């Protein structure tokens, strides 16, 4: 699957987003190291903080399938500019992706930009910081 195909998978799952409160539908697709693709969409809730992002859904699907290494990720929304993954999702992605993994961010209109995980989350908190914790 190419990066374009991955964005198309994100575009397709975006249609299933449950976003009645923001009306902002987001789709995400992850290609795992195995080559398999996992998709997710945002799922909002009337108790707003309980809503989940598209990236979180795709990560959950990947982990549930027994895979824990992200090779590539694509995220799409109906925004004028390529959607920027929220801070929480950057940390969630960093849990399963090396710093050089490419994140493609797209609009339904066809605008795309890419960044690496390290660019999206410089100075990420990781397990190395927990070495001396008591």
- Residues of this chain that bind ligand THU (CB under 6 A): 19, 22, 24, 26, 42, 44, 51, 53-55, 85-86, 89
At its nearest, how many Å lie between ligand THU and the CB of residue 58? 10
Nearer to ligand THU, 34 or 95 (CB): 95
Of the candidates 47, 19, 33, the one whose C-alpha atom is nearest the C-alpha of residue 97 is: 33
- Annotated catalytic residue: which of 55, 81, 95, 119? 55
Nearer to ligand THU, 37 or 42 (CB): 42
Q: Is position 95 annotated as part of the catalytic site?
A: no
At its nearest, how many Å lie between ligand THU and the CB of residue 83? 6
DSSP 49-109: GG-B-HHHHHHHHHHHTT---EEEEEEEES-SSPPPPPHHHHHHHHHHS-TT-EEEEEETT
Give, as one character, the DSSP assignment of residue 20. Answer: T
At its nearest, how many Å lie between ligand THU and the CB of residue 5? 20
Give, as one character, the DSSP assignment of residue 110. Answer: S
Nearer to ligand THU, 53 or 59 (CB): 53
Those residues with Cβ within 8 angstroms of residue 30's Cβ, 6 or more apart along the chain or in another chain: 37, 38, 39, 58, 59, 61, 62, 70, 72, 73
Catalytic positions, written as ranges: 55
């Amino acid at each position: 699957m190419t990066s374009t195909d991955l964005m198309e998978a994100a575009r397709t799952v975006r249609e299933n987003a449950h976003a009645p409160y923001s009306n902002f539908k987001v789709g995400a697709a992850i290609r795992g190291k195995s080559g398999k693709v996992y998709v997710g969409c945002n799922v909002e809730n009337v108790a707003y903080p309980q809503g989940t992002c598209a990236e979180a859904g795709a990560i959950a699907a990947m982990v549930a399938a027994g895979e824990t290494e992200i090779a590539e990720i694509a995220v799409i929304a109906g925004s004028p500019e390529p959607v920027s993954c929220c801070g929480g999702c950057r940390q969630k992605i960093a849990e399963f992706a090396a710093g050089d993994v490419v994140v493609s961010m797209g609009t339904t209109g066809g605008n795309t930009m890419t960044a690496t995980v390290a660019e999206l989350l410089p100075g990420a908190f990781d397990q190395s910081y927990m070495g001396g914790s008591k």
